[in-house]
Chains A and B, each alone.
Chain A
Amino acid sequence: MQTGNMVIGLFIPGDSLLHRVDPRSKIVFSFAFAVALFLVSSFGGLALMAAGLAAGLAVARIPPSWLYRGLKPVLLLALVTFLFQAFLRGGAPITSLGPLTLYREGVREGAFLALRLVLLVLSSTLLTFTTPPVMLTDGLSRLMAPLQRLRFPAYELALMMTIALRYIPTLLQELDRILKAQLARGADIRRGGLVKRARNLVPVLLPLFVISFRHADELALAMESRCYRGGRGRTARRQLRLGWLDAAFAFIMVLLIGGGIWVGRL
């Protein structure tokens, strides 16, 4: 029942070089990095990209315990992928464990896929570790701004994301409160059959909905009273500017991604 300890967004406040790179640069190159991972087809290429990623993690001073936290959701998937490949792919048999046979190509391919998956997740977590959620949506909306001309609601989408991100911790905290208060009133959400349990959730979920709507209502009023009239023509207090740091970052990333693809093709 400790929703209060849940980590959302996984941003780690800090002042490293990576923290200071413009969110747009980070988004573009994280994306490029992810695409490149799929273009690489040898261990050499993956190793190069892994080394680059490790350097990034070191520069951003990400505590190892946090890496584990970020990876936890996919570790199982990576393991299953590996086992599937290792035992079912076929190729030259290495040894057999009971009815299962371990294949050389399978182990190779499984390790490759698992490593790729881990790198993919790590690279995107490095982005969220070093970029505050608000900067992320800021960067995204700026990147999508040209689409506004095609009537794609880029600003509105960005605002929605920002608001959602802003309210997730608040709502989690309120959920925690309500849960505790209703448990103290004898609510029981852990016992009983499915229907009963769903019914028992009412005392918790209904107040949460009410609070969400109340927040939405108040926020809308507050925004209107401060003259919010839609995204068009708004200026931002936080100006994003590309600087020498972004140039350096772009240079390194191009080298890393290009190198990875080049090595990986061999």
Chain B
Amino acid sequence: MCLGLRLELDEAGLVYQPGLPFSATALEHVFLQVEPGERVGIAGPVGSGKSSLLELLAGITPPTSGQVLHDGQPVGRAGPKPGTIGLSFQAPENCLFENTVAADVAFGPGRLGLDKEEVARRVRSALEATGLDESFEQRHPFSLSGGEQRRVGLAGVLALEPRALFLDEPTAYLDPAARLDLIDRLVELNEESGATVVMVGHDMDELSRFAQRLLILDAGRMVADGPAPGLLADAGLLRDHGLEPPGTVTLAGLISRAASLPVEPFLTEEQAVEALARIMEGR
């Protein structure tokens, strides 16, 4: 029903405090095209410009050089059209302000001119997607734990049901089960609605579960852009840029060394089993 947004960066760069002695270049010469409905992961060491890239793509921070396009149209300084994008910063709980969880999540959709039932439906489904059941709806946001607040903040963004979702480390502060659950829900959401989803992540296991395509940043430059499985299996590349490969890839490396056999890097558990089976056959 809702069509994904096409995102484009045309030699975009971002400098903080431009023209001042302590200006900081966060991004340089980034060319990028994201097709509608793609699931893109962004990885890179601390301070490499991941959040900056996300903000540029979302159109919420104007680049200091180059251009940002949504659906082929340059995004003006006023930002993207309301309702087209949803954006969750590293600490989405910082944006809570209503008296109840339900009211806070309803804030965004309430401003899109939808009828009451539709708003209520979106609130429910967003809360569900972030793993918060009905008992939370009437609670005061500040009476929740940090992790729960974070989920409410995220739900407030999901409830917009935007054409493109931008999430900055959405799984931080969640417990391991909730992390995987959230990732799976994001994938599901992307497949059902066709929305473009861009996510910044620190954990390669999570990214391998989420991303179709991976961007790797280092010191403000895009050092890799390609299908996620290929890049994630490249332990050397990841380590070069201060990243830790997914556990399965590390395991493949260890097995290959122990068996003194070349082992194709694998990502999923199924691929691991296949690879092991091949080794056994070879013996």
| Interface size range on A against B | 20 to 34
Cα distance A5–B17 when bound, in Å? Answer: 5
B95 contacts A207, CB within 8 Å?
Answer: yes
**A13 at the B interface (CB under 8 A):** yes
**Interface digits, A67-105 against B, CB 8 Å rule (1 contact, 0 not)?**
000000000000000000000000000000000000000
A185 contacts B142, CB within 8 Å?
Answer: no
**A7 at the B interface (CB under 8 A):** yes
B108 contacts A4, CB within 8 Å?
Answer: no
Distance from B149 Cβ to chain A, minimum over Cβ atoms (Å): 10
Closest to B157 in A: A185
B19 contacts A65, CB within 8 Å?
Answer: yes
Dominant SS among interface residues on chain A: helix
Dominant SS among interface residues on chain B: loop
| Interface size range on B against A | 35 or more
**Interface digits, A166-185 against B, CB 8 Å rule (1 contact, 0 not)?**
00000000100110111111
**B92 at the A interface (CB under 8 A):** yes
- Given A180-B60, A185-B156, does the pair A207, B22 have CB atoms closer than 8 Å? no
Interface residues of B in 121-151 (CB under 8 A from A): 142
B16 contacts A210, CB within 8 Å?
Answer: no
Interface residues of A in 1-31 (CB under 8 A from B): 1-2, 4-5, 7, 12-14
A178 contacts B95, CB within 8 Å?
Answer: yes
Interface residues of B in 67-110 (CB under 8 A from A): 79-80, 82-83, 85-89, 92, 94-97, 107-108, 110
**B160 at the A interface (CB under 8 A):** yes
B107 contacts A181, CB within 8 Å?
Answer: no
- Given A13-B21, A186-B111, does the pair A202, B97 have CB atoms closer than 8 Å? yes
Contacts of B18 in A (CB 8 A): 5
A184's partner among B22, B60, B96, B112 (CB-CB below 8 A) is: B60
Cα distance A12–B112 when bound, in Å? Answer: 45
20 CB-based A-B contacts, threshold 8 Å: A2-B62, A5-B17, A12-B21, A13-B22, A14-B21, A63-B21, A178-B94, A178-B95, A181-B94, A183-B60, A184-B80, A184-B85, A185-B108, A185-B160, A186-B111, A203-B95, A203-B97, A207-B95, A207-B97, A210-B97
Interface residues of B (CB under 8 A from A): 16-22, 55, 58, 60-62, 79-80, 82-83, 85-89, 92, 94-97, 107-108, 110-112, 142, 156-157, 160
6 shortest interchain CB distances as A-B pairs: A186-B111, A185-B108, A206-B97, A184-B87, A180-B60, A181-B95
